[in-house]
Amino acid sequence: TPDSWVKRNAELIRLTGKHPFNCEAPLTSLYNAGFLTPAHLHFVRNHGAVPHVLKDVADNWKIRIHGLVKEEVALSITDLRRLFTVVTLPVTLVCAGNRRKEQNVVRKSLGFNWGSAGVSTALWTGVYLADVLSYVGADRRRAKHVIFEGGDSLPNGPYGTSERYSWASSKEKGMLIAWAMNGLPLEPDHGFPVRIIIPGQIGGRSVKWLKSIEVSVSESQHHLHYFDNRILPIQLSPEQARAEKQWWYDSRYLINELNVNSAIAKPAHGEELRVISLDAIYELRGYAYSGGGRRITRVEVSLDDGRTWKLSEIVYPEDSYRDIVHSDDTYGVLDLTERDTCFCWCFWSFNVPVQDLTEASCLTLRAMDESGNMQPRDMYTNATSMINNWWFRVAIVKCK
Ligand code: MTE
């Protein structure tokens, strides 16, 4: 394959055959790795071949910044480091396809089967896009969108998409032009040498192998800006969605912010639990996240398929970063002291007597965020099956 030069972790589960490379870690490994996902367990979503960027090319890699700006510039990573404050933020990236497999079982959609590990968290280091936009003198009155383009060549042109200017120009939203992940240069699969990171939004807008940033009155015209990352109306079958292209151009169906979601990591689907004592306590565990910077406020577990619910404990490791101000050459400034947004996943746990587990047929999970958004009981089955967030379930099957 064109990517045979890329080193990859054999433990990752390939979701689209040999090429392009799309993968997630086994959920148990992802969960056990903790708050920060090491690069070798981070999910990967590539639409085509990974650009083979050698070190000297990376050193001279320039991002063209143009469009509605006072001065068009081409900046290298060295320029970015020199001109702007280098910052690090912990950010959870989520592919909009996370948990699609559950929908595909009910009705095959246009997308491939993501399990529930299409989500990962890392410390991303770079500069605020907002600082760069103000440096180039972006025209605040006319600008409506900021368009990003990657260096990968796909059958219908490079990967590209856009973000609203109001987000891109706001430091609070935390959008980064990033060159490092967990303190190390980006891996080829994650966008080496440089990419966009957009906290709180679907991963599809965080363009990798970043070549161009354009300030514009209109949104991106890139093929995959239209034919990806949308939730089409439910009445459209996947076949109709493929044939009747006009649906994809309607901006109502574009997805930006992530929605509230959660999953059970322990026990895993199909895991065998040996009951030694009915009096013992079993600890259920998993993750939850929401979008747009919203905090998860509740995670609830049901042992009777949603008739009654019990509150789980939530831990927000992101909060431990709010108390520290760290600064060095690798990370730049890591300072969340003035930030109250939540850009990362949290972890929940719930202690259940083994006796109760043996009497239940299903573990059901749902989360709520600070705006009261709650995971729905039912799926929203639609042609793309994106941001699927219905209640998460693990079936309990009794063995003899
Ligand atoms: N950027 C480029 N240039 N090409 C791509 O195929 N995939 C997008 C986004 N950026 C993509 C891209 C999608 S759909 C997702 S979910 C994220 O990258 C995944 O980032 P990751 O592979 O680092 O996890």
The per-residue pLDDT for range 243-297, each reduced to its tens digit, is 999 999 999 999 999 999 999 999 999 999 988 899 999 999 999 999 999 999 9
pLDDT (tens digit per residue) in 13-62: 999 999 999 999 999 999 999 999 999 999 999 999 999 999 999 999 99
Give 117-156 pLDDT, tens digit per residue: 999 999 999 999 999 999 999 999 999 999 999 999 999 9
Q: Ligand 1 mean position to 50 CA, how many Å?
A: 11
- 172 and 288 in a single domain? The answer is no
The answer to ipTM > 0.95 is yes
Pick the atom of ligand 1 nearest to 45's CA: 22
- Please tell me the residue having the least CA distance from ligand 1 atom 13: 204
Q: Please give all residues whose beta carbon lies within 6 A of any atom in ligand 1, as ranges.
A: 42-47, 93, 95, 150, 152, 159, 189-190, 203-204, 206-209
- Among residues 253, 278, 308, the one where a domain terminates is 253
Which of 253, 284, 310 is a domain's end point?
253
Q: Tell me: do 185 and 305 sit in the same domain.
A: no
Spacing, Cα 270 to ligand 1 middle (Å): 30
Q: How far apart are CA 299 and CA 296, in angstroms?
A: 8
In a domain, 162, yes or no: yes
In terms of domains, do 190 and 87 share one? yes
377: CA distance to ligand 1 center in Å?
29
Q: How many beta carbons lie within 10 A of that of residue 315, not counting itself?
A: 12
Distance CA 232, CA 220 (A): 19
In this structure, what CATH number is given to the domain that contains residue 245?
3.90.420.10
Indicate whether 3 belongs to any domain.
Answer: no
Judged against a pLDDT cut of 80, whether residue 90 lies above it is answered with yes
Number of domains in the chain: 2
Indicate the pTM of the whole model.
0.98
Q: Report the share of the chain in percent with pLDDT over 90.
A: 98
Give me the domain span that covers residue 228: 13-253
Residues 333 and 221 placed together within one structural domain of the fold: no
**Is there a contact between 113 and 365 (Cβ–Cβ < 8 Å)?**
no
As a whole number, the mean pLDDT across the chain is 97
CA dihedral sign of residues 186, 191, 194, 198: negative
Q: Which atom of ligand 1 lies nearest, measured to the CA of 196?
A: 10
Ligand 1, atom 11, lies closest to the CA of 46
pLDDT recorded at residue 399: 85
CA-based nearest residue to 153, from 76, 209, 194, 218: 209
- What pLDDT sits at residue 181? 98
Please report the atom of ligand 1 found closest to the CA of residue 120: 24
Residues 75 and 159 in one domain: yes
CATH classification at residue 330: 2.60.40.650
Pair (242, 272) in one structural domain:
no
List all residues 6 or more positions away from 56 whose beta carbon is below 8 Å from its beta carbon.
Answer: none
- Which tens digit of pLDDT belongs to each residue from 207-216? 999 999 999 9
Answer yes or no: is 4 within a domain: no
Residue 204 sits in the same domain as residue 119: yes
- CA nearest ligand 1 atom 19, residue: 45
Ligand 1 midpoint to CA 195 (Å): 9
For residue 44, which atom of ligand 1 is closest to its CA? 22
Is the same domain home to 48 and 132?
Answer: yes
Domain boundary among 196, 225, 253: 253
Q: How far is the CA of 203 from the centre of ligand 1 (A)?
A: 6
**Which residue numbers are catalytic?**
95, 228-229
pLDDT band at 6 (very low <50, low <70, confident <90, very high): very high
Best CA proximity match to 361, nearest among 394, 400, 390:
394
**Quick check: is 72 in a domain?**
yes
What is the distance in A from the centroid of ligand 1 to the CA of 400?
45
Tell me if 304 is assigned to some domain.
yes
Mutation to probe ligand 1, out of 206, 224, 255 (largest number of atoms < 8 A from CB): 206
Ligand 1 atom 2: residue of nearest CA: 208
Judge whether 172 lies within some domain. Answer: yes
The pLDDT of residue 400 is above 80: no
Rounded Cα distance between 77 and 60, Å, is 8
What average pLDDT does the segment 172-183 reach? 98
Classify residue 7: in a domain, yes or no.
Answer: no
pLDDT value, residue 275: 86
Residues 369 and 271 in one domain: yes
Q: Are residues 158 and 303 in the same domain?
A: no
In a domain, 266, yes or no: yes
Task: Tell me, yes or no, whether 223 and 78 share the same domain.
Answer: yes
In the chain, count H helices and then E strands: 9, 23
Q: Which atom of ligand 1 is nearest to the CA of 191?
A: 23
Across 233-243, average pLDDT: 96
Are residues 236 and 282 both part of a single domain?
no
Contacts of residue 235, defined as CB under 8 A and 6 or more positions apart, other chains included, come to none
Please tell me the distance from the alpha carbon of residue 282 to that of residue 279, in angstroms, as a whole number: 10
